[in-house]
Amino acid sequence: MAIDAARFSLEGKVALIVGGAGDLGKAMAGRFAEAGATVLLTSRKVENLEKVAAAIKEKGGKAAAFPSHLGKSEEVKKMIEMVKAEYKKVDVLVNSAGANPQMVPLMDLEEWAWDTVMNVNLKGTWLVAKEVAKMMKEQGTGGSIINLTSYLGFTTIDLLGAYCTSKAAVAHLTRVMAAEWGQYNIRVNAIAPAWIHSRLADPFLALPGVNEKQLSKTALNRFGDPDDVALAALYLASNASNFTTGAVLGLDGGMLLGK
């Protein structure tokens, strides 16, 4: 029997990727475009977004950039209004922005760093998702929202206390959204990666002894790459997952198995 690959198609859909210029956002944007979606990218720096959009267009895909400060509600609303005016709808939302400006023990963490982590990782996820959910409700066709949490939302690690806390909150926020918005046919799921080689993870892995210690905790004896996340996101974005909501999909290489 042939695989029904059409269930993974995003043809005719509009996908908004928050943090679209990051390594994970870029990989997801590429996969979504390959699957037929019009990909809209948002983050603070428009020049970085435009580079990603240009690369997608060079390969025959459809993409556009919409700059926005994700921790400020007025900017988020402005960005959503621009998307609505030009594209009329959003079928898929990915909240992929992440921040962790200080790698220090909680006792030494400065308040501004705590606020930055919570504003980007948690508050920004909520601000964008609630505005997009309103659009999806009005559309009457529902949609898929994918939040990026982390395996660190289910365990702890030295020097990343605020990040762990924010990602635990995102995992539970995902469940709350799924419970409230399922009545509108809006599915809300999360992806919880462990160490994925990226600009966010690699500085921590480069600290003395960290790479070897973290690698020893994996069952697969390797870290992930952005495309691992992109393929999981494609499943959650597509009709292949149309009975999945409130789930947190682990992509941790077995790190939570307790090795």
Question: How would you classify the pairing of strands 186-193 and 248-251?
Answer: parallel
- pLDDT value of position 199: 83
Whether 1 has a pLDDT exceeding 90, the answer reads: no
The pTM of this model reads: 0.95
Tell which wins on pLDDT, 48 or 259.
Answer: 48
Averaged pLDDT, 116-139: 96
Tell whether 258 is covered by a domain.
Answer: no
Tell whether 84 is covered by a domain.
Answer: yes
Q: Is 163 a catalytic residue?
A: yes
Tell whether 136 is covered by a domain.
Answer: yes
Averaged pLDDT, 211-234: 95
- pLDDT value of position 48: 92
Residue 24 parent element (H or E): helix 23-34
Residue 14 parent element (H or E): strand 14-18
Residue showing tokens 């908004």: 16
Tell whether 229 is covered by a domain.
Answer: yes
- pLDDT value of position 3: 61
Dihedral over alpha carbons 194, 179, 142, 41 (to 10 degrees): -30
Report the chain's mean pLDDT, rounded to a whole number.
Answer: 94
Residue 16 parent element (H or E): strand 14-18
Of 67-76, 114-123, 227-236, which gets the smallest average pLDDT?
A: 67-76
Tell me the pLDDT band of 106, cut-offs 50, 70 and 90.
very high
Tell me the pLDDT band of 228, cut-offs 50, 70 and 90.
very high
Tell me the pLDDT band of 190, cut-offs 50, 70 and 90.
very high
Please report the DSSP string for 111-173 in residue order: HHHHHHHIIIIIIHHHHHHHHHHHHHHHHSS-EEEEEE--GGGSS--TT-HHHHHHHHHHHHH
- The pLDDT tens digits of the residues spanning 38-50 come to 999 998 888 999 9
8 A C-beta contact, residue 217 and residue 251: no
Tell whether 126 is covered by a domain.
Answer: yes
Tell whether 83 is covered by a domain.
Answer: yes
Tell me the pLDDT band of 200, cut-offs 50, 70 and 90.
confident
- pLDDT value of position 70: 82
* Domain count along the chain: 1
Residue-range definition of the domain harbouring residue 76: 5-251
Dihedral over alpha carbons 239, 241, 243, 248 (to 10 degrees): -150
Tell me the pLDDT band of 2, cut-offs 50, 70 and 90.
low
Q: What is the CATH number of the domain that holds 149?
A: 3.40.50.720
- The pLDDT tens digits of the residues spanning 68-98 come to 988 889 999 999 999 999 999 999 999 998 8
Tell whether 256 is covered by a domain.
Answer: no
- What share of the chain in percent tops pLDDT 90? 86
The token pair that represents 104 in the structure block: 């220090």
Question: How would you classify the pairing of strands 248-251 and 92-95?
Answer: unpaired
**Active-site annotation holder among 87, 151, 163, 235:** 163
- pLDDT value of position 46: 87
Tell whether 259 is covered by a domain.
Answer: no
